[in-house]
Amino acid sequence: MLRIAIQKSGRLSDDSLKLIRECGISFISSSLKLKTESTNFPLEILFLRDDDIPGYVADGVADIGIVGQNVLVEEGMKHLSVEELGFSRCRLSLAIPKGENYTSLEDLNGKNIATSYPNLLESYLSERGIKAHIHTISGSVEIAPSIGLADAICDIVSSGSTLISNGLKEVERVFKSQAVLIANQDLSAEKKEILEKLLFRIHAVQRAQRAKYILLNAPNDKVAEISQLLPGVKSPTILPLAEEGWSSLHSVVNEDDFWEIIEKLKAAGAQGILVVPIEKMII
């Protein structure tokens, strides 16, 4: 059985559990339980503090884990990373009181900065020749300027609403982060095989999230032109309609190109365009 560690609460926890469920893995979760087992896949889930996860995986207490890149890099364990998961995106940013002027990073020379990520911040500042006094605190970093503990903060930002509510403004982005899957470097052959099966399911879910399934009708004399706009995985599926002279085309389109392709399809004579979300995509 493979043992995975995920954050016990918060957005990263919710997104991690959603991914596991989308991979077809069933389990019973409870806010009172610190671990649970899947009923249909050889997986045990541990619910831990996010900053404890890299250490648990490195020590072999957990085989794999889902954690923010910011935590992984802060702990100096980038070598554990296996897969970027594309969710729980955020950034580590510098912020100052909104009433203060800011022209460049040099304004922070000699200033006091409060953060829960001293290693990331120190690396960022030293690379740019900035010397500041870093105060390491855990939790409630945003309050530091208002109580006189620091002139600025460096903390995780998602929407920015927490900064605004605490009278702060974002001035520099230090590090971009997202959820990553990490793994112990000494997994047994059996556990590596289970991990490969899990990664296969994760990749199928990820591909589906980035794609749309398109069905449309087109006159036969336009099929060749429209087919060039619909590459799909290999090529579009073409089926004759009951109405003579018309065909139905089915294909998959990358979400990034979706609207541009839809406009070209309409201009080429496509009608009755139907767009359907994809649950899983295996190639």
- Alpha carbon 123 to chain centroid, angstroms: 23
Q: What is the mean pLDDT of residues 49-72?
A: 95
Between 234 and 276, the higher pLDDT residue: 276
The encoded tokens of residue 188 equal 């047994």
Instruction: Answer whether residue 29 shows pLDDT above 70.
Output: yes
Burial of 117 (0-12, 13-18, 19+ CB in 10 A): buried
Handedness of CA 104, 105, 106, 108 (dihedral sign): positive
Tokens 């990749």 belong to 203
Q: What is the pLDDT of residues 208-261, one digit of tens each?
A: 888 889 999 999 999 999 988 886 667 788 999 999 999 999 998 888 888 888
In the prediction, which pLDDT does 231 show?
A: 67
In the prediction, which pLDDT does 98 show?
A: 94
Between 42 and 207, the higher pLDDT residue: 42
- As beta bridge partners, residue 118 has none
- Residue 202 to residue 22: CA distance in whole angstroms: 8
In the prediction, which pLDDT does 200 show?
A: 96
Domain locations in the chain?
2-88+178-207, 90-176, 211-277
In the prediction, which pLDDT does 41 show?
A: 97
Q: What is the pLDDT of residues 109-122, one digit of tens each?
A: 999 999 999 999 99
What are the respective helix, strand and coil percentages of the chain, to the nearest 5? 35, 35, 35
- Residue 66 to residue 48: CA distance in whole angstroms: 10
Nearest to 72 by CA among 81, 84, 63: 81
Q: Crossing angle for the helix pair 11-22 and 189-209, nearest 10 degrees?
A: 100
Class of domain 2-88+178-207: alpha beta
- Alpha carbon 249 to chain centroid, angstroms: 33
- Residue 17 to residue 120: CA distance in whole angstroms: 28
Burial of 20 (0-12, 13-18, 19+ CB in 10 A): buried
- As beta bridge partners, residue 37 has 44
Instruction: Answer whether residue 12 shows pLDDT above 80.
Output: yes
Q: What is the mean pLDDT of residues 56-65?
A: 96
Q: What is the pLDDT of residues 142-186, one digit of tens each?
A: 999 999 999 999 999 988 888 999 999 999 999 999 999 999 999
3-state secondary structure of 32: coil
Class of domain 90-176: alpha beta
Q: What is the mean pLDDT of residues 28-36?
A: 80
Confidence of residue 38 (pLDDT cuts 50, 70, 90): very high
3-state secondary structure of 9: coil
Domains 2-88+178-207 and 90-176 share a fold: yes
Residue type, 111: K
Q: What is the pLDDT of residues 70-87, one digit of tens each?
A: 999 999 998 998 899 999
How, if at all, do strands 246-254 and 211-219 pair?
Answer: antiparallel
Q: What is the pLDDT of residues 129-150, one digit of tens each?
A: 999 999 999 888 999 999 999 9
Q: Work out the number of other CB atoms within 10 angstroms of the CB of residue 37.
A: 13
Q: What would the CATH number be for the domain defined by 211-277?
A: 3.30.70.120
